[in-house]
DNA sequence: GCAAAAGTGTTCCAGATACACCCATGG
DNA sequence: CCATGGGTGTATCTGGAACACTTTTGC
């Protein structure tokens, strides 16, 4: 059999990407979701998505969709899972590859997002979503937890400069449980991957809290030497 | 926009599944690979795969492909990753969803496998493979390690009755390092998820080693009570 | 002066690691 | 009788968990 006859007569499918876009604001994990504009399910809440084009990889498609809605490039994104049930999309048979992204809410293009009907909703208070998007979000949260424990991805959700309280609050949100203040400080500081700045943040206390910055270069160096990041 | 116009004019893609089929035999992790029969790359080593049909989910397609080559049903399978680079398949643009499966080599339909040109090759001594199949295998091994540590999936690779030495040997293969005999026994037995049988296996020692059987019901009970499986 | 968040150390316990010898048996 | 793999217990160490008071300063 030659290549032409091997690949011909094979069914072709619509392939979509859906993005679970995490943000962190006001001490809460949030997701960027949109009011769907097209039938079926127009007007319902949906993840941000789009179809994979002929000349782009699925990774590229996810990056394109993210940029289209947030204006952001060069963002932490990871593939979550491919959802391939025949009837998962009620409009047509669509195979969807889901990605999750971590962004700094402050950095995104707010007008652009609004133009696309996008809203930041609290993870803990998600409305009904179309198709299997709820399941995607659940799966993404599990994966986020797993990854955040052993990789320094939490910093992707915080501003460049942040306080230890903010960082702890973020991890508490991700893990869904409280963390001991002293143990958390001890552990994260012992990793020695953050730079302590002179500046203090006074927005949330009279005393002021030191700001820190994640040092990616230092992390890479230490990782090569065998550092095991764990929070 | 209505549904018909929304979904029309969207490019459609060939979607394949590829299966990384792990087995364990003679103390070694092995993979079931085939000599590819069709162009391009006919005659080269390849993972077992096939195209996703119109009426089947990607999970179903993977299960179908596995059954076709091994005769086995109802096997541990988990999705690995969706590989979506545009040019990953040199014959056409094919998006591939990879799955990995754990089977008991002794249970598979050997003649059927041979008929499909399938061979069990040692993981440590893999030849070159077509396309990105090498990468898929590497990714699968990472995922297998991660999963085996916290889920009792190692048992899927062993016969129903096995000795502690066999089990330890399997984990040594998976992790790629030796494990202390006494510590391993202590840990695995303390989980209390295996039934100790009266029978002994004398094939590998004069004294004979007790056979054990994994007790899935007991594991499920203990898990509900909060047992954390970890090896 | 007081409210509100920042910052700081020690004790305790569980689980991981390291390690060496006797046992049973077929040949 | 000896070679081979099976089976066993203890001491030590490390890292996680629990826990409460002082500091700073804006109001």
Cα–Cα distance between A141 and A2 in angstroms, integer? Answer: 45
Taking Cα atoms as reference points, which of A12, A36, A98, A208 lies closest to residue B14? A12
Chain B residues whose C-beta sits inside 8 Å of any chain A C-beta: 1-3, 6-7, 10-15, 37-40, 51-59, 61, 79, 81-82, 84-86, 91-95, 97
CB B22 within 8 A of CB B102: yes
The torsion defined by the Cα of A64, B90, B29 and B50, in degrees rounded to 10, comes to 90
Bases of chain C below 7 A from a protein C-beta are 3-10, 16-20, 23-26
Element (H, E) at A65: helix A58-70
Q: Across all residues in chain A, what is the average pLDDT?
A: 96
pLDDT given at position A9:
87
The rounded Cα A28 to chain-centroid distance in angstroms is: 14
The alpha carbons of chain B give a radius of gyration, in whole angstroms, of 20
- Rounded (5°) CA angle B207-B213-B215: 155
Domains of chain B: 11-150 (3.90.79.10), 153-224 (1.10.10.10)
Asked if residue B179 keeps its beta carbon closer than 7 A to nucleic acid strand D, the reply is: no
- What integer is the mean pLDDT of A57-66? 98
Least confident of A35-39, A135-139, A163-167: A35-39
Residues B61-73, buried b or exposed e (16+ Cβ, 10 A)?
Answer: bbbebbeebbebe
Asked if pLDDT for residue A41 goes beyond 80, the answer is yes
Q: Give the DSSP per-residue string, A173-229.
A: HHHTS---HHHHHHHHHHHT-EEEEEEEE-SS-SS-EEEEEE-HHHHHHHHHTT---
**Which of A1, A2, A3 should we substitute to test contact with B (largest number of B Cβ atoms within 10 Å)?**
A3
Asked if pLDDT for residue A109 goes beyond 70, the answer is yes
Residue A27, sorted as left (phi over 0), alpha (psi -120 to 50) or beta, turns out to be: left
The answer to whether B3 contacts A40, with C-beta atoms less than 8 Å apart, is: yes
Place of tokens 């926009």: B1
- What integer is the mean pLDDT of A57-82? 98
For residue B40, whether the previous peptide bond is cis, meaning omega lies within 30 degrees of 0, is: yes
Cα–Cα distance between A172 and A210 in angstroms, integer? Answer: 20
- What integer is the mean pLDDT of A62-77? 98
Over residues A162-214, the pLDDT tens digits come to: 999 999 999 999 999 999 999 999 999 999 999 999 999 999 999 999 999 99
pLDDT given at position B3:
59
- Which nucleotide's C1' sits nearest to the alpha carbon of A168? C6
Alpha helix ranges (H) inside A107-197: 110-115, 133-150, 164-175, 181-191
Over residues B109-119, the pLDDT tens digits come to: 999 999 999 99
CB B199 within 8 A of CB B161: yes
pLDDT given at position A7:
82
CB B19 within 8 A of CB A21: no
- What integer is the mean pLDDT of A127-147? 98
Per-residue pLDDT of chain B (231 residues; tens, 9 = 90+): 565 667 888 999 999 999 999 999 999 999 999 999 998 999 999 999 999 999 999 999 999 999 999 999 999 999 999 999 999 999 999 999 999 999 999 999 999 999 999 999 999 999 999 999 999 999 999 999 999 999 999 999 999 999 999 999 999 999 999 999 999 999 999 999 999 999 999 999 999 999 999 999 999 999 999 999 999
The reply to whether the predicted model has a pTM over 0.75 is yes
Strands A194-201 vs B194-201: parallel, antiparallel or unpaired: unpaired
Alpha helix ranges (H) inside B8-154: 58-70, 110-115, 133-150
Query: Tokens for B172?
Result: 């040594």
Place of tokens 């990607």: B58
Give the chain B residue nearest A146 (alpha carbons): B146
Q: How far apart are the first and last CA of chain A?
A: 54
């Amino acid at each position: 059999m030659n290549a032409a006859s091997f690949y011909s007569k094979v069914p072709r499918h619509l392939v979509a990407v859906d993005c679970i876009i995490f943000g962190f604001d006001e001490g809460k994990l949030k997701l960027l979701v949109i009011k769907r504009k097209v039938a079926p399910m127009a007007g319902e809440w949906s993840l941000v998505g789009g179809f994979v084009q002929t000349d782009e990889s699925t990774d590229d498609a996810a990056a394109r969709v993210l940029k289209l809605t947030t204006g952001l490039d060069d963002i932490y994104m990871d593939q979550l899972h491919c959802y391939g049930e025949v009837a998962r999309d009620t409009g047509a048979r669509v195979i969807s590859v889901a990605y999750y992204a971590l962004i700094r809410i402050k950095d995104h293009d707010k007008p652009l997002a609004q133009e696309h009907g996008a809203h930041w909703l609290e993870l803990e208070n998600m409305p009904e979503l179309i198709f299997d998007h709820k399941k995607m979000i659940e799966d993404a949260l599990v994966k986020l937890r797993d990854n955040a424990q052993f990789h320094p991805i939490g910093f992707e959700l915080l501003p460049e400069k942040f306080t230890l309280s903010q960082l702890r609050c973020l991890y508490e949100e991700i893990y869904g449980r409280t963390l001991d203040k002293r143990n958390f400080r001890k552990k994260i500081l012992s990793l020695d991957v953050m730079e302590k700045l002179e500046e203090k943040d006074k927005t949330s206390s009279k005393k002021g809290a030191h700001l820190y910055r994640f040092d990616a270069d230092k992390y890479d160096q230490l990782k090569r030497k065998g550092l095991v990041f764990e929070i």
